[in-house]
Amino acid sequence: MVIKLNYFTKDKPYNSLNEYNRKHYNAKIAKIPLNGGFTCPNRDGTKGIGGCTFCSAKGSGENAGDIKKSIKDQFLEIKEIMENKWPNILYMPYFQAYSNTYSNLEDLKNKYNEAINVIKEKTIGISIATRGDCISEEIAKYLGELNKKIHVQVELGLQTSNEETSLRINRCMTNDEFINAVNLLRKENIEIVVHVITGLPNEELEDNLNTINFINSLDIQGIKFHSLLLLNNTKLYEEYKENKFHILTKEEYVKYTALQICNLRDDIIIHRLAADAVIDDLIEPKWTIKKLTVMNDIDKYMRNNNLYQGIYYKKK
């Protein structure tokens, strides 16, 4: 068994976020998913209408707090549930729903500061999910200033580097816009976590590996893997009913994710291995409901085949 880098363990032959947090903070870090009341340029007509075809009406913020409540109240409510599970945890408010840099600077400052100040002494940073085309120079500079006071992490949705798929899923953002955001944020020393989806329509393993190579070529610090979730009331489900495409089996997802990890640069931290299923709205694949089993199967597949993060990565 290979135990290679700082955050590899005997059971998890890759940089797992839990291990990273254990070594850096000696604590469990709870991300508190919030709904800041933003929208998305791919929904309001600025870049597109109706959003990415897989995106739910909640803007991929299924677990985020209740928009009718203040950010402070959302935070306190979710914190209570977390605290019952893990006493002595530290917090990271996480602006999850829609595009959380898509507003004017004053509004962003107010919302971010409200979240950071709820329990300042136990808050180690702030995480902001957004699109590459919602990072301007002005916003990157502000985040850079904030980053000098508290750790700032930005999660960027890429999903795929295949621009044909991007058109098909109505992403309405080019790879160049994504790269531009990465460069603006890294100039300010902001940590970047990228989201990818495995199992998009018409994509094969080769497309997933090309996406990993694209990520490897950029200054990115973390990654979240998700399987495609076919949800009720999405454009993707309408498309699927008209013209069925292949939905990955659990075995395929496990193998494809393991191989993506093997091709991933070995300094990148893995923040997520499997999507959180939205049980009420989930059409397919049903195996995603057992998230822990999927995660364990990926670990097992890698251990059984003597695989580890970066084993197939070739520096270009």
Q: For ligand SF4, how many residues bind (rule: CB under 6 A)?
A: 12
3-class SS of residue 125: strand
Tokens, residue 126? 């702030």
**Per-residue contact track with ligand SF4, 75 to 104, x per CB under 6 A?**
-----------------------xx-----
40 binds ligand SF4 (CB under 6 A): yes
Distance in Å, CB of 42 to ligand SF4, minimum: 4
157 binds ligand SF4 (CB under 6 A): yes
131 binds ligand SF4 (CB under 6 A): yes
132 binds ligand SF4 (CB under 6 A): no
For 150, residues 6+ apart whose C-beta sits below 8 A from its C-beta are 116, 123, 124, 125, 126
157 vs 222 by CB, closer to ligand SF4: 157
Alpha-carbon span 285 to 90, nearest angstrom: 33
99 vs 263 by CB, closer to ligand SF4: 99
Question: Of residues 7, 14, 34, 43, which one binds ligand SF4 by CB under 6 A?
Answer: 43
User: DSSP secondary-structure letter at 100?
Assistant: T
130 vs 309 by CB, closer to ligand SF4: 130
Alpha-carbon span 273 to 294, nearest angstrom: 8
Alpha-carbon span 7 to 20, nearest angstrom: 6
Distance in Å, CB of 129 to ligand SF4, minimum: 8
Task: Give the sheet arrangement for strand 269-272, strand by strand.
Answer: 29-34, 90-95, 125-130, 151-159, 191-198, 222-227, 269-272
55 binds ligand SF4 (CB under 6 A): yes
60 binds ligand SF4 (CB under 6 A): yes
Query: Which residue lies nearest ligand SF4, judged by its C-beta?
Result: 51
User: DSSP secondary-structure letter at 255?
Assistant: H
Alpha-carbon span 76 to 192, nearest angstrom: 26
Give the residues lining the site for ligand SF4 (CB under 6 A).
Answer: 40, 42-43, 51-52, 55, 59-60, 98-99, 131, 157
